[in-house]
A and B are shown apart, each in its own frame.
Chain A
Amino acid sequence: MTNLLYSFTGLILFIFGFFALIVCAQPLRKILGCNVMATGIFLFLVATSYRADAAAIDPVPQAMVLTGIVVSVSVTAVALVLATSIRQASDPFIARRKKKAKGDARKKQ
């Protein structure tokens, strides 16, 4: 029974994450939405390894979850880097400050 509870929680998390990914406009929220989706899948995956006999728990899903977490961390890192550089490139305030810093450097030379 607990097994089913975990599975359904995982699926609900997946749907929440998906909702956030579609509805939210900010890149950071979208990235977090993806993370929540991934976590939901991992929870679902871990719940499949459950067996009534505690000694016979299936190790394969656990290996998959570990791999999945590594993949998810690296994708999140890439996405965050992209989001940061978009912000730096498109934000007029940051761009002006950068330009000014460049101009100052040139004056010193």
Chain B
Amino acid sequence: MISAESWIIVPVVAPLSGALLSFLIRRGSVIISMTAAALNGLAAIILVKQFLQAGPAVYAIGGWNPPLGITLHTDGPSLIMLAMTAVAAIAICLYAWGYFSLRIDEPVRIGRAERQESFFWPLWMLQLTALNGLFLSGDIFNLYVTLELLGISAAALAALSGKTSALIASLRYLLVSLLGSLSYLLGVVFIYKTYGVLDLVLLQKMAGMEPGVIAALAFMSVGLLLKTALFPMHFWLPPAHANALAPVSSILSGLVVKASFFLLFRLWFDIFSPVLPASAFSLMGFLGAGAVLWGAIQSLRQKRLKLLIAYSTVSQLGYLFIAFPLAFAGGTSQAWSTVLFMAAGHACAKIAMFMAAGNILLHIGHDRIKDLAGIRAHLPITSFAYAAAGVNLIGLPPSAGFVAKWMMLITALSTHQWLWALVLLAGSLLAAAYVFKVTSQLFVIPPDTTLIMRHRSAPLLEWPALILALISLLMGLMAPYPLRLLEIGVTPEVVMLLGGGP
């Protein structure tokens, strides 16, 4: 039916057709979206298998080769992100199905939940299209288009809950992401003016120290940093993520911010790393350190569970940027493995946490942290999922967060960059504080209070959260397998470094 090399278009085409079909056929939207997500998962498996056998693949859309045409390509990092997104997408689909069917049964405000559901599925599928397109695309202008698609669908999703606070947050989100992508576009124009090409692989061979390129890199980086919500440009993130519906918060916090980070990292390390001075990497590290500490402190100060989780995203994103100066010392391939571990582990953990918070909100009607005591008695699986995801955020073994932080710590100590090591440790301590602030409430059952649950616990709401949390928790044990993907297509000395290193 589909030839071997054209499986690469499935992750883009399947969710896109899913989005259009589920918009047209409202009744079948759940089944259509589930099918699209499953097809996307299948395509991810096949692409990984092909990659293990044949190495990196390039597919010219419509038979047009670069510099005129647009290419899709796979390599280790893009496949890891693709696979992670595919797993998360299936879990989010299941959760959203359970979430909306429970909400629709609610007697109050009939119709609102149905309307939300009918818009949720097409927008979420568009979001998945944009994410996959961003991971696979090999053309910097096409990447701009996927960034815009990501921004529009994310803002529309954030506005779904319909509350005024959510609307205001999502308009701000849209404007910020528009500013970010326009700044990126200006960078693209500068690059095109300097080199006359848009293809990533061609650019890699040409990158040099022209003034146009420095301007381009500055505009692109600032735009993408704004979209990734790096401290001090994180102001838009907590309200937008915390006021959205539970499945939407999971998508935004787990997947969307990672996409723009992925693009930034690719630009810096795959294309411009020979051009950039060490001070630029240190600047990223300082901003990241600021994010880790500030995000964690803000997170500790929050009184609402969803805001606490949203600020913890700001903090965890900071670690990804501390990897910049460390990677500059430790080599590109190691940088990729650290960052991908951090990103994948955080994605699974954060999605699980927002799902758990959504369950709590759904069942007791509020998410004030001080009144959460004793939830464990009613929602044992949710509470366990929250705690397991928290282990990943703190970075205790054997979680993915532990592996990533360990790799960073080893590099920091072996290259005598003590400052980053201190920030990593302080960040973990603060993370432990804000995770335990909630878990201590969840697991303690006071003798005199009785919580009134609005619904009976639903398996579709609890199990996806638990499974994702366990994936993030156990990912550290499976560390060699994803790293093998990164070894393909790089020089043997790097492979030795990876095999010998922790």
Instruction: Please determine whether chains A and B interact with each other in the same assembly.
Output: yes
Q: A48-B193, A71-B145, A74-B152 are in contact. Are A89 and B167 (CB under 8 A)?
A: yes
Which residue of chain B lies nearest to A77 when distances are taken between CB atoms in the complex? B152
A45 to B144, CA, bound (A): 14
Q: A38-B182, A75-B151, A82-B159 are in contact. Are A45 and B189 (CB under 8 A)?
A: yes
Partner of A82, one of B144, B171, B196: B171
A90 to B193, CA, bound (A): 45
B interface footprint on A44-60 (CB within 8 Å = 1, 0 otherwise):
11001000000000101
Structural contact, A21 and B170, CB atoms closer than 8 A: no
What residues of chain A lie closer than 8 Å to B167, measured between beta carbons? 82, 85-86, 89
What residues of chain B lie closer than 8 Å to A48, measured between beta carbons? 189, 192-193
A38 to B193, CA, bound (A): 17
Which residue of chain B lies nearest to A71 when distances are taken between CB atoms in the complex? B148
Structural contact, B168 and A86, CB atoms closer than 8 A: yes
What residues of chain A lie closer than 8 Å to B168, measured between beta carbons? 86, 90
What residues of chain B lie closer than 8 Å to A31, measured between beta carbons? 175
What residues of chain B lie closer than 8 Å to A14, measured between beta carbons? 182, 186
A interface footprint on B369-385 (CB within 8 Å = 1, 0 otherwise):
00000000000000000
A interface footprint on B170-199 (CB within 8 Å = 1, 0 otherwise):
110011001100100110010011001010
What residues of chain A lie closer than 8 Å to B198, measured between beta carbons? 60
Interface size class of B (residues with CB under 8 A): 20 to 34
Structural contact, A89 and B164, CB atoms closer than 8 A: yes
What residues of chain B lie closer than 8 Å to A89, measured between beta carbons? 164, 167
Q: A48-B189, A78-B152, A85-B167 are in contact. Are A34 and B145 (CB under 8 A)?
A: no
How many whole Å from B205's CB to the nearest CB in chain A? 19
| B80, CB-defined interface residue at 8 Å | no
Q: A21-B179, A34-B179, A75-B151 are in contact. Are A60 and B68 (CB under 8 A)?
A: yes
A83 to B151, CA, bound (A): 16
Which residue of chain A lies nearest to B179 when distances are taken between CB atoms in the complex? A21
Structural contact, B192 and A82, CB atoms closer than 8 A: no
Interface centre among A37, A67, A75, A83 (most CB of B within 10 A): A75
- Looking at chain B's contact residues, the main secondary structure is helix
Which residue of chain B lies nearest to A64 when distances are taken between CB atoms in the complex? B141
What residues of chain B lie closer than 8 Å to A21, measured between beta carbons? 175, 179
What residues of chain A lie closer than 8 Å to B152, measured between beta carbons? 74-75, 78
What residues of chain A lie closer than 8 Å to B151, measured between beta carbons? 75
Which residue of chain A lies nearest to B175 when distances are taken between CB atoms in the complex? A30
Structural contact, B170 and A41, CB atoms closer than 8 A: no
Partner of B156, one of A18, A64, A78: A78
Interface centre among B152, B168, B170, B178 (most CB of A within 10 A): B178
Structural contact, A41 and B171, CB atoms closer than 8 A: no
How many whole Å from A71's CB to the nearest CB in chain B? 5
A21 to B179, CA, bound (A): 9
A37 to B408, CA, bound (A): 39
A48 to B141, CA, bound (A): 15
A90 to B168, CA, bound (A): 10
Q: A67-B145, A71-B148 are in contact. Are A79 and B171 (CB under 8 A)?
A: yes
A107 to B428, CA, bound (A): 60
A58 to B186, CA, bound (A): 18
Which residue of chain A lies nearest to B153 when distances are taken between CB atoms in the complex? A78
What residues of chain A lie closer than 8 Å to B192, measured between beta carbons? 45, 48, 60-61, 64
Q: A41-B186, A82-B171 are in contact. Are A75 and B145 (CB under 8 A)?
A: no
Structural contact, B185 and A75, CB atoms closer than 8 A: no
| B271, CB-defined interface residue at 8 Å | no
How many whole Å from A19's CB to the nearest CB in chain B? 12
Partner of A78, one of B155, B182, B196: B155
Structural contact, A79 and B175, CB atoms closer than 8 A: yes
A31 to B174, CA, bound (A): 10
Structural contact, B145 and A41, CB atoms closer than 8 A: no
List residues of B whose CB falls within 8 A of some A CB.
68, 141, 144-145, 148, 151-152, 155-156, 159, 164, 167-168, 170-171, 174-175, 178-179, 182, 185-186, 189, 192-193, 196, 198
**Cross-chain pairs A/B with CB under 8 angstroms, 25 sampled:** A14-B182, A30-B175, A31-B175, A41-B189, A48-B192, A48-B193, A58-B196, A61-B192, A68-B185, A71-B145, A74-B152, A75-B152, A75-B178, A78-B156, A78-B174, A79-B175, A79-B178, A82-B159, A82-B170, A82-B171, A83-B171, A85-B159, A86-B167, A86-B171, A89-B164
Top 9 nearest A-B pairs (CB, nearest first) are A89-B164, A82-B171, A86-B167, A48-B193, A71-B148, A45-B189, A34-B178, A37-B182, A90-B164
